[in-house]
Structure 1
Amino acid sequence: MNVSFILILLLFGTFATYLAGDKFAKTVALFFSLASVAGSIFILNQHNAGIDESFMINWISNPNIYIALKVDGLSLAMLLLTTVLTSLILFSSFGNNYNNSKSFYALVLFMSFAMVGTFLSADAFLYYIFWELALIPIYFIALIWGNGDADERKRAIVKFFIYTLAGSLFMLVAFIYLFQKAGSLLIGDLYAIRLTENEQFWIFAAFFLAYAIKIPIFPFHTWQANTYQMSPSVGTMLLSGIMLKMGLYSVIRWQLPIAPLAAKTYMDIFILLSVIGVVYGSIVALKQRNLKKLLAYSSLAHVGLIAAGAYSLSFDGLRGAVLQMIAHGFVVVGLFFAAEIIERRFQTQEISEMGGIRIQDNKFASMFMIVMLASVALPSTFNFIGEFTLLYSLYNVNIWFAVIAGTTIILGAVYMLKMFQHVMLGEQTDKVFKGITIQESVVFVIIIAVLLFFGLYPKPINDLITPALQDIVTKINKL
């Protein structure tokens, strides 16, 4: 079985979910998502046994374009993150009722299909198709099943769609130019191109516009908070847990190795923009009264740190970025799921209308506290491993980058603890918080288990990603 099986499975699952009808759609979607997890684990075992599960066939002869899928430790880590989180997100949604649920769950699986394709693609044209395909389902998920005023939601989602689509067009132009130089769009051939300093600058800038919007990096973040707030929780978790990782992954896989000289020349500028996002996101989060917006700006701060580490161009920076991408994926899904649970009971996202939940459900408060502490990088949690490695990489570039970026831990602790104190420990409102269900508890237990296990023993992931990252660092330093 090669890795194309995962894509076929998810695409077939999309159609099967839609044809299953509203009554069985969520069950069918969960079945296929769990099957994709099993397939991903099988591919991982094959990879560890030294069996290459990559896939390539000629798709279009003129121009020469391939359906090429690459399996290495980096793409496998992102494949596992996508399939596991998709399953968790789908399972977390079982407490909600959606109109036209067959379309809703089919779109979720189709989005997973597109994101998996983005992470596995080794041909730039195929990569670009998957990159754009991932935008379509989240647009409809957020627009049709989102929250808040319909007109305001439409403005926020259309802004998100236009922003990300416009940025992607610059990347497409860059790929067309690279094709003229190499005569191929296979990633290995693009790595081998010898570009001048001026060519690298424009290629790097084109990639940066696409990735900075998707991540997002300051000042290209303006779509994020409202889109996260207006989207249904499933959409928010897909965006924050997986989709933004497409941009971070692409920086490491495509941008840095293709234009390494530009990356080195302008490294300080891009690290600075990322670090500004860390501080900006943390400060704005302090002032938020809406729970989902607070978590959105918190996510902005954390991904800013990940981007800064990636742009440090060091092995430690890339390793820290990948570790933190995975850790952040689980934490942010846990946090937004907690916000969803509260909204189900209280019918509000406003922090001022919450309080005293611990008195009514101590179990939920305890699990929420563990995820919250992981988000502020408490030692022994997965996030601590990633953030420590990222700050160390920034320290090796410039101590002040590390000092300023480190504020994400301090300010993060302030706004997260303040939020937790009000929501969980504050004065009890007149609203009844019904205890969390077994299904909701299972989602939290899985997330907490991942955060604690890899916080204490990150070696399996570290061993998986190290060879691929060492290869990328070698390509970055080839000039």
Structure 2
Amino acid sequence: MDASTLLIVLLIGSLATYFSGDKFAGKVALLFSVAALAVSVLLLNAFNAGQNVDVLCAWISQPKIAFALKVDGLSLAMLLLTTALTPLIVFSAFGNDHKNAKAFYALILFMAFAMAGTFLAADGLLYYIFWELALIPIYFIALIWGNGDADERRKAVVKFFIYTFAGSLFMLTAFIYMYQRAGSFLIDDLYNMRLTIKEQFWIFLAFFLAYAIKIPIIPFHTWQAKVYQKAPTVGTMLLSGIMLKMGLYSVIRWQLPIGRWAAINFMHIFIGLSIAGVIYGSIVALRQKDLKKLLAYSSLAHVGLIAAGAYTLTLDGLKGAVLQMIAHGFVVVGLFFVAEIIYRRYETRTIADMGGIRIQSPKFTSMFMILVLASVALPSTFNFIGEFTVLYSLSRIDMWFAILGGTTIILGAYYMLRMFQQVMLGQQNARLFQDVTFNEGVVLVLIIAVLFFFGIYPKPITDLITPSLQNILTFVYRTN
């Protein structure tokens, strides 16, 4: 078994789901998504045992493009995040009736296939292909199965597509230029290129435009809140839980080692932009009346802090960023699922129309409260580990960065707890709120279990990712 096995399982799963018909599509998708998780665990065990699970074979002779997949601790962490969240996302959708369900669930698995390929690709053009493939399924998921006014939804989705596609063209231009210099798209060859300061600057900037839009970082964030609001909850989960991690992962994997001069010399600028996103997202979240938009801006604030940690170019910063990527993935999927559960009962996402749920649904209230506390980085939860490590790394660069970055905790605690109070507490709502179903409870309990387990014992993940991050930093700080 090698890394291509995971891609084959997800791709076959997508096709099998589509041809299984609407009646069985969800169950087939769940089966293959769980199988993909099992393959990821097997890859992890093989990697820890010292087996070679990389793939390298010639693909296209002119230009020279290889089908190259590389497995290390960083890519494995992202694969495990992707394949762990995908079955949860699929299972969470069972509570909704979807028209053309076979296409809906097939697109979810195809998107997981593209995202896994992005995390594995070790050839620049192959990476770009997977990067762009991931955009196609989410475009159709948001456009066809989204909510709200059709014209507004179409405008939001088209804006998202144009933004992300345009940014990706800058990245493609950078890869083509580097190929002309190195004669190869392989990541090891690109890492070992001898680029001038001017070349590094422009390549770094080209990558930044692609990744800043995908993450997103201010001022490239304008597509995010509207798409999160208009997309179906499954689409929002895929975007916030996994897809934006493609941008953060790519900053660490591609941008920093290749454009190392710009990364080092303009560190404070990019940290500043990232922290500006923390502050902006938190302040705008305070004013939101729609639950999904509030969570969208909360996500913007959290990913800004993750990006700031990555741009510190320290081992602690990179470790904290990766830990927070994984923690944020589980928390934000859980929170958007909570918003979906409420919408299934009340058919509204307006916070003012909610209230009094605690009296009718104590189990749901308890699970929602735990997710809120995890989101604001309560000690013993996974988010605390990541945010503390990132803030510590920022303090080593400049204490003001840590102070300003810490506003995500202070403001986040305020708007999240206030939102919880408005949604869950108060007088009993006139409308009946049924307590969580078995399927809904399973999804929430599994997410909470992950958050507590790695909040108390993060060592397996830190041990997995540290060697890869150390290797990347050796390329960032090399002198020749």
Calculate the TM-score normalised by the size of structure 2.
0.99
The Cα offsets for residues 5-25 of structure 1, whole Å up to 9 and x where unpaired, read as 000110011110000000000
Q: Is 1:142 paired with 2:142?
A: yes
Q: Gaps (5+ residues) in structure 2?
A: none
Partner of 2:452: 452
Is 1:281 aligned to residue 284 of structure 2? no
What is residue 377 of structure 1 aligned with on the other side? Answer: 377
Cα deviation, residue 49, structure 1: 0.8
Find the aligned partners of 1:427 and 1:69 in 2 and give their Cα distance: 56
Q: Partner amino acid for 1:99?
A: K
Using the TM superposition, give the Cα deviation of residue 428 of structure 1 relative to its aligned residue in structure 2, in angstroms. 2.3
Following superposition, the deviation at residue 427 of structure 1 comes to: 2.6
Map 1:25-424; keep pairs closer than 5 Å: 25-424=25-424
Shift, 1:218, TM fit: 0.5
Residue 236 of structure 1, CA deviation: 0.1
Q: How far apart, in 1, do the equivalents of 2:23 and 2:164 lie? A: 34
**Across the two proteins, how many residue pairs are aligned to each other?**
479
1:41-100 Cα deviation digits (max 9, x unpaired):
000001111112111110011111111000000000000000110110001110000000
1:339 partner amino acid:
A
Distance in 1 between the 2:112 and 2:344 partners? 25
Look up the match of 1:6.
6
AA at the equivalent of 2:439: Q
- What secondary structure, in the 3-state scheme, does the structure 1 residue paired with 2:67 have? strand
Give, in angstroms, the shift of residue 426 of structure 1.
Answer: 2.4
Task: Give the letter for the 1:83 counterpart.
Answer: T
Paired with 1:47 and 1:211, the residues of 2 have a C-alpha distance of: 28
SS in 1 for 2:12: helix
Structure 1 counterpart of 2:374, which letter? A
Cα shift readout 1:387-417 (whole Å, capped 9, x = no counterpart): 0000001001110000000000000000000
Q: Aligned partners of 1:423, 1:140: CA distance in 2, in Å?
A: 31
Separation in structure 2 between the aligned mates of residue 156 and residue 365 of structure 1, nearest angstrom: 32
Compute the TM-score of the two structures, normalised by the length of structure 1: 1.00
> What secondary structure is seen at the aligned counterpart in 2 of 1:68?
strand
| CA–CA distance in structure 1, aligned partners of residues 422 and 355 of structure 2 | 6
Calculate percent identity across the aligned residue pairs: 71
Rounded Cα–Cα distance in structure 2 between residues aligned with 1:64 and 1:427:
67
Q: CA RMSD in A?
A: 0.5
1:128-182 deviations in Å (ceiling 9; x for gaps): 0000000000000000000100000000000000000000000000000000110
Cα distance in 1 between the residues matched to 2:47 and 2:281: 38
Q: Aligned to 2:57, what secondary structure does the other structure show?
A: strand
SS at match of 2:212: helix
Please give the alpha-carbon distance, in whole angstroms, between the structure 2 residues aligned to 1:332 and 1:469. Answer: 25
Secondary structure at the residue paired with 1:221? Answer: coil
CA shift at 1:430, angstroms? 1.3
Question: Equivalents in 2 of 1:402, 1:195: separation in Å?
Answer: 33
Q: Give the drift of 1:429.
A: 1.9
SS state of the match for residue 22, structure 1?
A: coil
Residue by residue over 1:25-46, the C-alpha shift from the partner in whole angstroms, topping out at 9 and shown as x without a partner, is 0000000000000000000001
